[in-house]
Structures are given as C-alpha cells and as structure tokens.
A and B are shown apart, each in its own frame.
Chain A
C-alpha cells in the first residue's frame, strides 16, 4: 500500500514523454529480459557484501564500545580515539585506501569483495560502537548490582543481563545502520565490485539509457531496503512481545 503513490507517479511519468525508452528493461522483450537479468545478477553481491560487513562491524563495534565504558581512562581513551578517527574518514576514501593502499603496505593482495567488506565494516564499526555505548549506558545501575549480587562476573553480567536488554533498545538504530550499509555498498562499485550499481553502470555504457536503468536501480534498492525494514520491525515486535509475555 505504501508503494501506491510511487507506482502511480511512475506510470504518470512513463506516459508523459517520448524520451522514455522502457524497452531496455521491458521483461516482455528478450533484450529487456536479458538486461534485467544482468542488473539483478548484482543482487547477491550487494546482499553478501552488506551482510558480511554488518556482521563484522557489530562485533567490532561491541569490542570497541566495552572498553569505552571502563572506569580505566586509558581504555576509554583508546575506544574514543578509534571512534573519532574512523568516523572522520569518508567511506569512499576508506574503500579506495583499503583497496589500493593496503596491499603495498601489507604485501597482501585482497580481492574487491574483501576490500569492500573491510572498508564498510571498519567505517560502520565506529557508529556501531557509539550505538552500543548509548544502549549499554541506558541500562540502570541496579541491573549490574543485582547480577553481581548473584555472583555473576563481568562477562556473564554483560552477556546474560546487560546486552540482551541493551540490544532490544538499540534495535531501531541497528536497523538504520543495516539500511545505511546496503546503500553504502553501492560505493564499492568504484573498485570494480560487480554489485547492483556496477551492473547498472555497465549496462548504461552499452545501452545509453541512463534514466530507465538508474530508475530500475533505485527500485532495486528501494525494494531491498523495504524488505530489510520490515524484517527489523518484525524482530522488534517479537522481542518486545517476549518481554511483555
């Protein structure tokens, strides 16, 4: 239902101008069908890239956030410095730096996929760390005290008491990051990753129909992200229902 106004705008636009050439992506024709198939063949990469990167960035983000909450000022300082430095680098610059800069420095050649994953995960981890810090700080002191008073150590207190509650609270923010990551994965096309945006670019070069092809690209991201949003919202509802019983 949410898509309805968008869809009608789409029809309106398509009918109003001779400059549109939807044949390039019309699935009824063999050419259009092949073009669409070509464009969609980037989907798996986009999804794999984003999913791998977010999984890594959540873990790294948590590992950066925890020392940031320590009473030790050196640990706090290290966490802070990581967040500030990583957050200050534009994602596109980080992608270029990891792909072209890291191999000569380390002597290890990395493929575009892993270069993309590393750059996206690194960049996102700084934001994840801030999200986790906010979530953990929002849990009342009494929860730690109750956990300590039944002999739980720091790790078990975090794992069984604090994080399950913090994650419920930061789920909307985590959903945001996931959406952001899906969109930012398009930047990895600059180093030649064959994901959705790269495929669209290549098709534009051979078909000279940027308007239609990029419109399809927009719709590809839109559908992907609406599905992800629905998934996050479902998870939120489920976890809340859990707490209410």
Chain B
C-alpha cells in the first residue's frame, strides 16, 4: 500500500448516550482503496462507528476527517458527496421506481440533468445485474434485488468510499450471496470499503484488515488471516468461537 494521506481518519473519537459510552477513544486510519471489515457483538458500536463517517450520527469528542475535511454539520454535504452508504433495511424510496431511486441523488444532490442521471443509473443497474427491473417499484423486488438496487443507488453518486451497515442481515439466506458477490466485485475495482457484517466468509475473501469492536472500543485490528487463525485478545477469541461454531 502506498503511504499517502489517509482517506478516513478517526482521532480519539468518543460518543455518549447519557451515561452509556457508545464509542470509546476510537483511533483508526483508512487508506484509499482499503477494504475494512468491522465485526463484534451487537451493541459494540460498529454501526455507530461507520454512521459517524457520513454524519448520520454525531460524535461527542475527537475528530473524524474524510479526505482532510472534518466531519461536522457545516461540511456535511461535501462529505456525503464522497461517501456512499448501504443500510441493513435497504431504505429504498418506496414511492419511486427503481430507476427513479437511482436518479434522485445525481439530479437533486449533484445537479445533473435527467438524461445524464438516467445514463448513469442504467449503467449501475446493469452492474448490479438487474437492468430489467428499472421500471418496477421496490416492493415488487426480492430482498436481494432491493439491496442491489440500494448499492447501485449509492454508486450513482460516484463515491470514493462505500459504507455497508450489515447489508445482508435482513436478507433471507438464499439471497445473501448475490449481494456479497456484488460487493466483492466492487472491492475488486479498488473502492474504499468499510463493511459491518457477520459474514466471515466474505471478510476472509475480501478484507485487507479486520477491526474487532466490543463495548464501544476497537479491541483488535489485524489482517484476516491473523485475525481468524490467531486472534490476540480473549474477547475476539471468544467472539469468533461463538460465531464460527454455530
């Protein structure tokens, strides 16, 4: 990896919900093109961590920088233009067709013309392999198809970073692989990706680094081969035993 300015930087980031500390002194640096998989027990702060990157959550103290811009209310539009996000519940716009879901961001967020937006939308819909669903409404699609539309919707903004917040957790088992395949393909294009997931097969295949979180802190950061075969911390060992042997 070439040592350039990091694309994302967390510096001593903490966040509280009243007395409960959701994030504890988070320090993490992500280089351009890196694929990071974040795992840990539920409630460990994984989702909060990535939602802080595009300002869907605020943080109490510390700094987060995306390409040198501090994530704060004033600079959010700029940051959000660079960061795409895929949600557990897809969050497609139910009153718009698939193609309209894809075109909304480019047209209203980036000010593209309808023709330009349509061209981009069609291209990305083909890339997630559902060009034939363009005129349908989200509820007419399967969960896997909906999540692929959601990925395409983010890609239409041509982001430099993609965040995935448990993208396959709401899917029926038989639909998980179609979504993971699309994500793995995206990883091959050199996209910077931060993925919160319990899909350890995917993590092994795609991740450059594993980030293990527990009780709001980053407990361990390691390449997948090290993390899966010889985790250092007892908490990571315990977690891996639970999810790999079920």
Contact = CB atoms under 8 A, between A and B. Distances in A.
B95 A168 contact: yes
B97 A149 contact: no
Given A150-B105, A150-B109, A145 B87 contact: yes
Contacts of A145: 56, 85, 87, 91
Contacts of B91: 140, 142-143, 145-146
List the 6 closest pairs (A to B, CB-CB), nearest first: A150-B105, A151-B109, A146-B91, A142-B91, A149-B85, A245-B137
Q: How large is the interface on A (under 10, 10 to 19, 20 to 34, 35 or more residues)?
A: 20 to 34
A156 interface: yes
Interface of A: 140, 142-143, 145-153, 156, 160-161, 164-165, 168, 242-245
A109 B95 CA distance: 46
Given A156-B108, A156-B109, A150 B154 contact: yes
A156 B107 CA distance: 11
Interface string B136-178: 1101100000000010011011000000000000000000000
A140 B89 CA distance: 11
Nearest to B89: A142
Interface in B57-86: 76-77, 80-81, 83-85
B110 interface: yes
Contact of B94 (A150, A151, A165): A165
Contact of A152 (B85, B104, B136): B104
Contacts, number: 78
A149 B137 contact: no
A161 B103 CA distance: 13
A137 B87 CA distance: 20
Interface residues of B, number: 33
In the complex, which of the residues B87, B94, B157 has the most CB atoms of chain A within 10 Å of its own CB atom?
B94
Interface in B171-224: none
B228 interface: no
Given A142-B89, A148-B55, A245-B137, 12 more contacts: A145-B91, A146-B153, A147-B93, A149-B80, A150-B109, A150-B156, A151-B77, A151-B105, A151-B108, A160-B108, A168-B95, A243-B95
A149 B94 contact: no
Given A146-B92, A151-B77, A245 B136 contact: yes
16 contacts: A140-B89, A142-B91, A143-B93, A145-B91, A146-B92, A148-B54, A150-B80, A150-B84, A151-B105, A151-B108, A152-B105, A153-B77, A160-B108, A161-B93, A165-B94, A165-B95
B81 A151 contact: yes
B97 A245 contact: yes
Contact of B104 (A140, A160, A242, A244): A160
A160 B105 CA distance: 10
Contacts of A245: 97, 135-137, 140
Contacts of A164: 95
Contacts of B97: 245
Nearest to A153: B77
B191 to A, nearest CB: 16
Contacts of A151: 77, 80-81, 105, 108-110, 157
Interface string B96-123: 0100000011001110000000000000
